[in-house]
Amino acid sequence: MISKIRRLDHLVIDNISRMHSPALNMVMKTASRSANVGIIWWLVCLPFLFIPGWRAVGFNFVISICFAHVMGEGLIKHLVKRVRPCHDLEEDEQIIDPPRFYSFPSGHTTASFSMVGVAVFRGLPLFITLPILFVALLISFSRIYLRVHYLSDVVAGVILGLSCSALSVLFFRLVIGL
């Protein structure tokens, strides 16, 4: 099973690499950078935190992102210690500087889908949920496109992010009552 996943990971990266172009490289670099240290998601949280009727949702977003970060970046990456695909590339093949830390799961994807999960599980309106989903998908795809993650890293990030958001929403409903 693991060998099939590895083959699929490499097949996906090889096929996506054929799409590379200067214009698309810029789009993907921008999408990826927007999620460095979760910056885009912290910016999304701000209006929710300042609008009185939406504060609980804003705090739910924050707790979900923090929980996702602790689980993915703090725990799982250091247990799995998976080397990134970009570490097998020549310097002239790099689109961005290779990240220093491990690959599995994708932290950008985990944070992104922790936001998607809160929006979905709290039943936020589509005009809020769909843009969050679109940006999360773009960021997640950019990580494979830029060859800093394998498909399985991103899939694990989606699962982990949604799981963290489900736990966060459950915590808010059961413990805090919001």
- Among 43-57, 79-93, 95-109, 135-149, the range scoring the smallest mean pLDDT is 79-93
Residue 122, domain extent: 34-176
What average pLDDT is seen over the chain?
91
Within-domain flag for 2: no
Q: Are 154 and 144 in contact (CB under 8 A)?
A: yes
How many helices (DSSP H) and strands (DSSP E) are in the chain? 8, 0
Residue 20 covered by a domain: no
Tell me how crowded residue 104 is: count the other CB atoms within 10 A of its CB.
21
Residue 1: predicted pLDDT: 78
> In the structure, what pLDDT confidence band is assigned to residue 96 with cuts at 50, 70 and 90?
low
**pTM, to two decimals:** 0.91
Q: Is residue 58 domain-resident? A: yes
In a domain, 1, yes or no: no
Of 20, 22, 41, the C-alpha closest to 146 is: 20
Q: What is the pLDDT of residue 159?
A: 98
pLDDT tens string 104-156: 999 999 999 999 999 999 999 999 999 999 999 999 999 999 989 999 999 99
Q: Considering its fold, how many domains does the chain have in total?
A: 1
Burial 30-68 (b: 16+ CB within 10 A, else e): ebbebbeebebbeebbeebeeeeebebbbbbbbbbbebb
